[in-house]
Chain A
Amino acid sequence: MKIIVLMKQVANKDAILRINKSETWIEEGDLSHEVNESDGYALEEALRLKEKHGGGEVVVCSLGPQRVKSVIKDALARGADRAIHVVSDDTAQLGPYAAAKVLSEAIKDEQADLVLTGLQSDDNGYAQTGVILAELLGLPHATIVIEVDASGEGLRVKRELESGWYQWYAMTRPALLTIQSGISQIRYATLKGIMAAKKKEIKELAPDAEALGAAAHQRITKVYFPQKTKQTQFLGDGDAKAGAAQLAEKLRTEARIF
């Protein structure tokens, strides 16, 4: 089974974000990055499927500037067989349709049995790129998948619905699945894996110019910190212990919890 996993690099979850001067995006300069959380689970699922079904190939594909190589190398160290890096410096404002179009041009000749992505990115959070990619590749898809059974000719996938409900879908293969976080425990890269990764192929591709250059269907005009809906009383003024003591008092006198 040949499985392609799309992985995105995003701003570190704990990063303190600053707005850029033109108020159109965040200040990227001093930002640290990490792999998009659910994409990490998509890779893990691909590796497990390959192991379970006696081989095949796991190919990682990532779109972005040179810094995304760290995501690619980490994926190769964990066990992916090779990688495709679609190199583009300016992807922050790329809409999901354009991103899907660029990615479809990059992977369409691979003829994968399965394409896996995370369910949404932790930065733009469109939750669309995977589904649009499926449409462009002519594949059936399922989103928010938490279990994959590929033992038969087709697929059976368990989808998460809202409020604790689930549903199984039987579907044809090849297919595209967007994977929910927490589907399994993510493995660590071993030293052996890290050494082996150095010999694995990373193919660099230029993005399809037409797809990249097409007019965006949505444009960010301004970014800003959300307005607060509640008047929060901040306690301790930076001193956590003093804040804790004040909080105990407030919980008794104002909130009347005890």
Chain B
Amino acid sequence: MPNGILVFAEHRGGAFNKTSFEAVAAAQQLGASLGQPVSAVVLGTDAALASQVATYKLDKVVSVENPKLSDYTPDGYADAMERAVRALDPQFVIMPHTYLVRDYAPKLAARFGKDLISDCVRASVADGAVTFSRRIFQGKIDADVVANGEPPVFATFQSGAYRADQAERGGEAAAVESLPVEVGEVRMQPEEPFQEVKQAVDLTKADTIIAIGRGIKGQEHIALAQQLADLLGGEIAASRPICDAGWLPIDRQIGSSGQTVTPKLYIALGISGAIQHLVGMKNSSTIVAVNKDPEAPIFDIADYGIVGDLFEVIPVLTEEIKKLKG
């Protein structure tokens, strides 16, 4: 009979990802609501890493070991996790929705003939049944989802859905168990991770950021936003599509694949607010959003919103600020 909640703790080269502990927090809360024990799995070559996770309040930490797990590969991780899940027989497998998990976890779930309930923002329990909430249509709509069929249920949680500092520490260290596993053929060889040439613009130092999105419509209109940025002594930045189109260099991109910023003022012009953008700026002190679509997700986190055409807003805003500044 499957029982318990298994949480996958991710690390790269021995450094745990903060979202791993967010997943621990999610698993602990789910475990408390369901009255089920929570264990963690750490994949690697030896048990040393697992002890770092054992400080959390967990039933046990399972160190899943094989020499082929020294570097991440989807083949290696899917094989190892499949064997761990079959051996431990949990009811739920909880993972952070990171790029690494996105890379291997669907393959893992497919080994069980199923898919993941991916990128959840919440989970709630009523009468012993779990409802997961996912954000769909690029953040515009939420969907409540229930799992069908036999356990295990595989679910991943979005970065920021739970707070890492809410993960409970245990009174004493949890037991660490070694689980050596077989790993089959690995068909890919990773090279060393690297960063591109050092970024020329450090947006994290800017007090004011004027960010543009698809709504700017053409490269020739960027000057309009630049004027506003100059007036406020700020930096110009953009959501991914603008940098993809080559209208601004990639070092001005805000979001999960670009820079994460927390300026005093963030003005989002024509940015709808897909989660990949929001994670890079949602902790800014004051957020202003201008968008034609009143349902754009950017308004969910904005302090001030204007529903309308940015080409009407920017000239007036620039003029009024000039006047007020005297």
Q: Which of these binds chain B: A60-68, A83-91, A247-255? A: A247-255
* Residues of B contacting A168 in the complex (Cβ-Cβ under 8 angstroms): 190-191
Q: Which of these binds chain B: A50-58, A73-81, A106-114, A130-138? A: A130-138
CA distance A223 to B131 in the complex (A): 12
Contact of A131 among B103, B187, B313 (CB under 8 A): B103
CA distance A243 to B286 in the complex (A): 16
- B321 in the interface (beta carbon within 8 A): yes
Please tell me if the beta carbons of B99 and A144 are within 8 angstroms of each other in the complex. Answer: yes
Please tell me if the beta carbons of B102 and A143 are within 8 angstroms of each other in the complex. Answer: yes
Least CB distance, A258 to chain B, in whole angstroms = 6
Q: Which residue of A lies closest to B299 (CB)?
A: A232
* Residues of B contacting A163 in the complex (Cβ-Cβ under 8 angstroms): 256-257, 260
- B181 in the interface (beta carbon within 8 A): no
Please tell me if the beta carbons of A17 and B141 are within 8 angstroms of each other in the complex. Answer: yes
Please tell me if the beta carbons of B313 and A240 are within 8 angstroms of each other in the complex. Answer: yes
Please tell me if the beta carbons of A233 and B115 are within 8 angstroms of each other in the complex. Answer: no
Please tell me if the beta carbons of B141 and A219 are within 8 angstroms of each other in the complex. Answer: no
CA distance A167 to B258 in the complex (A): 16
* Residues of A contacting B102 in the complex (Cβ-Cβ under 8 angstroms): 127-128, 131, 143-144
- A29 in the interface (beta carbon within 8 A): no
Looking at chain A's contact residues, is the secondary structure mostly helix, strand, loop, or mixed? Answer: mixed
Contact of A244 among B148, B256, B306 (CB under 8 A): B306
CA distance A136 to B99 in the complex (A): 21
- B114 in the interface (beta carbon within 8 A): yes
Contact of B137 among A97, A122, A172 (CB under 8 A): A122
CA distance A199 to B135 in the complex (A): 41
Least CB distance, A43 to chain B, in whole angstroms = 15
Least CB distance, B237 to chain A, in whole angstroms = 14
Least CB distance, B231 to chain A, in whole angstroms = 9
CA distance A255 to B115 in the complex (A): 46
Q: Which of these binds chain A: B26-34, B37-45, B53-61, B240-248? A: B240-248
Contact of B309 among A13, A161, A218, A240 (CB under 8 A): A240
Please tell me if the beta carbons of A220 and B145 are within 8 angstroms of each other in the complex. Answer: yes
Please tell me if the beta carbons of A96 and B187 are within 8 angstroms of each other in the complex. Answer: no
* Residues of A contacting B295 in the complex (Cβ-Cβ under 8 angstroms): 16-17, 225
If the complex has contacts A135-B107, A143-B102, A172-B187, are A233 and B303 also in contact, measured as CB distance less than 8 A? yes
Please tell me if the beta carbons of A226 and B142 are within 8 angstroms of each other in the complex. Answer: yes
Please tell me if the beta carbons of A221 and B146 are within 8 angstroms of each other in the complex. Answer: yes
- B49 in the interface (beta carbon within 8 A): no
Q: Which residue of A lies closest to B301 (CB)?
A: A230
In this complex, the member of B99, B119, B189, B303 whose beta carbon has the largest number of chain A beta carbons within 10 angstroms is B99
- B177 in the interface (beta carbon within 8 A): no
CA distance A140 to B259 in the complex (A): 31
Please tell me if the beta carbons of B306 and A240 are within 8 angstroms of each other in the complex. Answer: yes
* Residues of A contacting B111 in the complex (Cβ-Cβ under 8 angstroms): 135
Please tell me if the beta carbons of B317 and A95 are within 8 angstroms of each other in the complex. Answer: no
CA distance A26 to B98 in the complex (A): 28
Least CB distance, B83 to chain A, in whole angstroms = 16
Contact of B240 among A136, A172, A181, A230 (CB under 8 A): A181
Chain A residues within 8 Å of chain B by Cβ, number: 84
Tier of interface size on chain B:
35 or more
- B182 in the interface (beta carbon within 8 A): no
Please tell me if the beta carbons of A255 and B199 are within 8 angstroms of each other in the complex. Answer: no
* Residues of B contacting A220 in the complex (Cβ-Cβ under 8 angstroms): 143-145
Please tell me if the beta carbons of A215 and B320 are within 8 angstroms of each other in the complex. Answer: no
Please tell me if the beta carbons of B148 and A219 are within 8 angstroms of each other in the complex. Answer: yes
Please tell me if the beta carbons of A127 and B119 are within 8 angstroms of each other in the complex. Answer: yes
CA distance A17 to B314 in the complex (A): 27
A residues 166-219 with Cβ under 8 Å of B?
A: 166-172, 175, 180-182, 185, 215-219
Least CB distance, B136 to chain A, in whole angstroms = 6
CA distance A244 to B306 in the complex (A): 8
* Residues of A contacting B199 in the complex (Cβ-Cβ under 8 angstroms): 164
* Residues of B contacting A181 in the complex (Cβ-Cβ under 8 angstroms): 240-241, 244
- B4 in the interface (beta carbon within 8 A): no
Please tell me if the beta carbons of B148 and A215 are within 8 angstroms of each other in the complex. Answer: yes
CA distance A136 to B110 in the complex (A): 8
A residues 11-27 with Cβ under 8 Å of B?
A: 11, 13-14, 16-17, 19, 26
Please tell me if the beta carbons of A125 and B136 are within 8 angstroms of each other in the complex. Answer: yes
If the complex has contacts A166-B194, A219-B146, A226-B297, are A235 and B304 also in contact, measured as CB distance less than 8 A? yes
* Residues of A contacting B143 in the complex (Cβ-Cβ under 8 angstroms): 220, 222-223
If the complex has contacts A126-B115, A128-B106, A225-B141, are A169 and B265 also in contact, measured as CB distance less than 8 A? no
Known: A17-B140, A245-B317, A252-B321. 12 other contacts (CB 8 A): A135-B107, A162-B256, A164-B195, A172-B187, A180-B257, A181-B241, A218-B117, A221-B146, A230-B287, A230-B303, A234-B307, A240-B308
Which 8 A-B pairs give the minimum distances between C-beta atoms? A240-B308, A182-B244, A248-B320, A244-B316, A128-B106, A140-B187, A131-B106, A243-B306
Report A's interface with B, CB cutoff 8 A. 11, 13-14, 16-17, 19, 26, 37, 95-97, 100, 122-128, 131-132, 134-136, 140-144, 159-172, 175, 180-182, 185, 215-226, 228-230, 232-236, 238-241, 243-245, 247-252, 255, 257-258
Report B's interface with A, CB cutoff 8 A. 73-75, 78, 98-100, 102-104, 106-107, 109-111, 113-119, 131-132, 134-149, 187-196, 199, 208, 214, 232, 240-241, 243-246, 256-260, 264-265, 272, 285-290, 293, 295, 297, 299-309, 312-314, 316-317, 320-321, 323-325
